Every structure is written in structure tokens, then in C-alpha cells.
């Protein structure tokens, strides 16, 4: 997972009025917290943050914070994002300080690869899990986990325990849980019409 630099400013004041003024300036209020630091109120550029989390890694992007004496150079990940209900954008961002040597737990999107044999036979592809919970070092977080369905036949499924994972990544979901399956059954031959 690539690491991106994001500029932050430490906020001295909090409250709805301050947050409203920040948003009017194209900035988003937020907080940085984590092991070894007291929570720090910050603001950051909304457009810069939206672009950073819009890629395949989504909210699993690693950030190097720039700005604010106590936070300059700190590595963080998005812990929570609040979005407005009536427009695109962000209303608040929580960043969690992480250590590059300590494992983290994250959701990683599942990407379906190939066309299933069962779909070619008339079945329906049913994606049950769109993301997997994994544990790994922050630098080993995959952008996505590919699930190849090419050989998946009608009435069959691929389970969590059958998915090949990158080195250093441990899945936390139930190994017996279905990730994707093919619904439907083979076409039956029409019965021969009775001669009379």
C-alpha cells in the first residue's frame, strides 16, 4: 500500500460554528488519536482527502501527516469518515495513528476476476461478501483481494478459506463462509409430448 502525504492544521477551537467556517473554506474538521498521543483536533483540505481515499485502497490508505509540531511525520489511517446527507463531500474525518511495525485490522474489498463456468451455463453469480476483514502490517494492506471465479460451476461456491492471500495477510472472517456462489440449476430437457 502506498503512503501519501497530507497537510493538516491543528485546531485550537471546536464547535459547530468553527466547523461551519472550516467547511466554507473547503476544509474538513477532524481528529487524530492513537497509541501514545492525546487526541488532537485538526483540519485538512477536503478535496485533497477525497482524492486520497477515492482510489482502490479507499480508506485503507496510509498517510504521513505534514503540519502541526506534535503530528509532523506521524503515520495515520482513516478510522472514520462522516459524509453529508445531501451533497458529496466530507463533514468530519477521524485519523488513527499507526505504527508500521504493529499489525492492524482492516476491511479489504473483494474483486471478482473472470467469467464463471456456471454463468456461461445460465447460472447467476451471487457475491455474498464484498469485503474481507484482514490483519496485517500497515505496509502489507492489499488494495483488493482477487477471487478468480473462472472454474466456478453451477451450485458451487468459493469460501473464505479457499482464497489465496498475499504474504503476511491473515483473514479474520469464518473460513467456511461463502464469498461468491453460482445460483441456478442446469436446464432440464423438455418432456417429450405424448402421442395420441
Instruction: Calculate the CA 134 to chain-centre distance.
Output: 11
Domain boundary among 81, 97, 113: 97
Give one word for 190, left, alpha or beta, with left for phi > 0 and alpha for psi -120 to 50.
Answer: beta
Same domain as 58, residue 16: yes
Domain of residue 59, CATH code: 2.40.240.10
In order of 4, 58, 69, 71, 77, the CA distances from 36 in angstroms are 22, 26, 15, 12, 15
Bridge partners (DSSP) listed for residue 96: 33, 77
User: Looking at the predicted structure, is the pLDDT value of residue 159 above 90?
Assistant: yes
Tell me the pTM. Answer: 0.79
In a domain, 149, yes or no: yes
- Model confidence at 196, pLDDT cuts 50, 70, 90, reads very low
- Would you say residue 178 has pLDDT above 50? yes
Q: 189 in a domain, yes or no?
A: no
Segment 25-37, tens digit of pLDDT: 889 999 999 988 8
Do 84 and 137 share a structural domain?
no
Residue 85 has pLDDT above 80, yes or no: no
Q: Which of 20-24, 84-88, 165-169, 187-191 has the lowest mean pLDDT?
A: 187-191
Decide: 1 and 137 in contact? Cβ < 8 Å. no
- Contact at 8 Å (CB) between 78 and 54? no
Residues 91 and 110 in one domain: no
Indicate if 50 and 76 belong to the same structural domain: yes
Q: Is the pLDDT of residue 141 over 50?
A: yes
Instruction: Mark whether 10 and 51 lie in a shared domain.
Output: yes
**For the chain, what is the domain count?**
2
| 13 & 47 share domain | yes
pLDDT of 71 above 80: yes
Same domain, yes or no: 47 and 79: yes
Q: 7 and 86 share a domain?
A: yes
In a domain, 148, yes or no: yes
Q: Are strands 62-66 and 3-10 parallel, antiparallel or unpaired?
A: parallel
Q: Are residues 153 and 113 in the same domain?
A: yes
Residues 83 and 156 placed together within one structural domain of the fold: no
CATH of residue 124's domain is 2.170.120.20
Q: Where a domain ends, among 40, 75, 97?
A: 97
Q: Please check whether residues 71 and 140 belong to one and the same domain.
A: no
Burial class (CB in 10 A: 0-12, 13-18, 19+), 192: exposed
pLDDT digits (tens, 9 = 90+) for 9-20: 888 767 677 777
pLDDT in tens, 98-124: 999 999 999 999 999 999 999 999 999
| 114 assigned to some structural domain | yes
Predicted confidence at residue 117, as pLDDT, reads 93
Is 113 in the same domain as 88?
no
Measured between alpha carbons, how far is 161 from 147 in angstroms, rounded to an integer?
Answer: 12
Residue 161 CA to residue 152 CA, distance in Å, equals: 15
Alpha-carbon span 3 to 6, nearest angstrom? 10
Q: Which domain holds residue 154?
A: 104-183
Among 97, 129, 151, the domain boundary falls at: 97
Please report which confidence band the pLDDT of residue 185 belongs to, taking 50, 70 and 90 as the band edges: low
Amino acid at each position: 500500500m502506498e503512503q501519501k502525504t497530507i497537510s493538516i492544521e491543528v485546531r485550537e477551537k471546536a464547535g459547530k460554528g468553527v466547523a461551519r467556517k472550516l467547511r466554507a473554506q473547503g476544509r474538513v474538521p477532524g481528529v487524530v488519536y492513537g497509541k501514545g498521543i492525546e487526541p488532537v483536533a485538526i483540519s485538512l483540505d477536503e478535496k485533497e482527502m477525497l482524492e486520497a481515499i477515492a482510489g482502490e485502497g479507499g480508506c485503507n490508505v496510509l498517510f504521513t501527516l505534514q503540519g502541526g509540531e506534535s503530528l509532523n511525520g506521524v503515520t495515520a489511517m482513516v478510522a472514520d469518515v462522516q459524509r453529508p446527507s445531501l451533497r458529496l463531500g466530507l463533514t468530519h474525518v477521524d485519523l488513527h495513528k499507526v505504527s508500521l511495525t504493529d499489525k492492524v485490522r482492516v476491511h479489504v474489498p473483494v474483486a471478482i476476476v473472470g467469467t464463471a463456468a456456471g454463468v456461461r451455463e445460465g447460472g447467476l453469480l451471487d457475491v455474498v461478501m464484498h469485503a474481507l476483514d484482514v490483519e496485517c502490517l500497515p505496509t502489507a494492506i492489499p488494495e483488493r483481494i482477487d477471487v478468480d471465479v473462472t472454474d466456478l460451476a453451477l451450485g458451487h461456491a468459493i469460501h473464505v478459506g479457499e482464497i489465496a492471500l498475499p504474504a503476511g495477510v491473515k483473514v479474520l472472517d469464518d473460513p467456511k463462509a461463502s464469498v461468491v456462489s453460482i445460483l441456478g440449476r442446469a436446464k432440464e430437457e423438455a418432456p417429450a409430448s405424448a402421442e395420441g
